[in-house]
Amino acid sequence: MGSIVSLRNVVKTYMRGKQPVEVLHHLDVEIPEGDFLALMGPSGSGKTTLLNLIAGLDQPTQGELTVAGERIDRLPSGKLAKWRARNIGFVFQFYNLMQMLNAERNVELPLLLTSLGSAERKRNVAAALAIVGLADRAKHKPNELSGGQQQRVAIARALVADPKLLVCDEPTGDLDRETADEILGLLQMLNKEHHKTIIMVTHDQRAADFASRQLHLDKGRLVETPQKSAA
């Protein structure tokens, strides 16, 4: 399989007052289709910045960024938003669920940006909730669910439009160890059985060990580490 993500000489610079601060330094990286990659590094190393570039939430200052066959560094914001809706599923640390909506309505939200009819949206939502083991919680609101169940709803929402790439920013950072391991096992299953490419930012080595590969960022530069056996 080819690369789903390709960075060539990617630089990201922010302005702190009048002072430019280079957060990512001339990165070259290839992420193959079907990979489960853990991005690690200390706070301030640039890992969330890199994830945001890959997900099309931010643009590089310099360099080429190709994701899912598209040079997204060249896309204007309107086309970039449509590209994200088709290609990227997001999983965040704090779930980002709409509290007034039940699970199936939360999962349906990305589909409202598509041309799918109501019946097809309903089928896709039911399938996504079944994949994450929450078919029986479809009518429950977030405050009626545990933290692990809320994160499963968030993962179902990320899956529902069948994106090419799942990007996960500290997806287990708000969960206890046992629940975190269940969520990480679910991500492993999505990678192995549903062939989803997953990029996960984490500071937790135990979480990273669930991935098939790890990259460490140190002051904006990438270092690959020897792979341990999967958990």
pLDDT in tens, 185-212: 989 988 998 889 999 999 888 999 999 9
Q: Considering only CA atoms, which of 224, 166, 139 is closest in space to residue 36?
A: 166
Supply the angle between the helices 147-159 and 118-131 in degrees, to the nearest 10. 130
pLDDT in tens, 45-71: 888 899 999 999 889 999 999 999 889
CA dist 155 and 148 (Å) reads: 10
- Where do we find the tokens 């309903």? 122
For the record, the structure tokens of 204 come out as 């937790």
- Where do we find the tokens 């200390």? 42
Strand partners, 37: 199, 213
For residue 17, the model assigns a pLDDT of: 86
For residue 118, the model assigns a pLDDT of: 86
**Cβ–Cβ < 8 Å for 107, 129:** yes
Angle, CA 106 vertex, CA 134 and CA 203 arms, to 5°: 75
For the record, the structure tokens of 17 come out as 């007052």
Q: What is the mean pLDDT of each run of 10 residues along the chain (231 residues)?
A: 88 88 89 93 85 91 92 89 87 84 91 82 90 90 90 90 90 84 89 92 90 89 60 41
**What domains are defined for the chain?**
36-52+87-224 (3.40.50.300)
Q: In the chain, pLDDT over 90 holds for what percent of residues?
A: 42
Supply the angle between the helices 147-159 and 177-192 in degrees, to the nearest 10. 20
For the record, the structure tokens of 21 come out as 């601060």
3-state secondary structure 186-210: HHHHHHHCCCCEEEEECCCHHHHCC
pTM of the model: 0.88
3-state secondary structure the chain: CCEEEEEEEEEEEEEECCEEEEEEEEEEEEEECCCEEEEECCCCCCHHHHHHHHCCCCCCCEEEEEECCEEHHHCCHHHHHHHHHHHEEEECCCCCCCCCCCHHHHHHHHHHHCCCCHHHHHHHHHHHHHHCCCHHHCCCCHHHCCHHHHHHHHHHHHHCCCCCEEEEECCCCCCCHHHHHHHHHHHHHHHHCCCCEEEEECCCHHHHCCCCEEEEEECCEEEECCCCCCC
CA dist 207 and 213 (Å) reads: 12
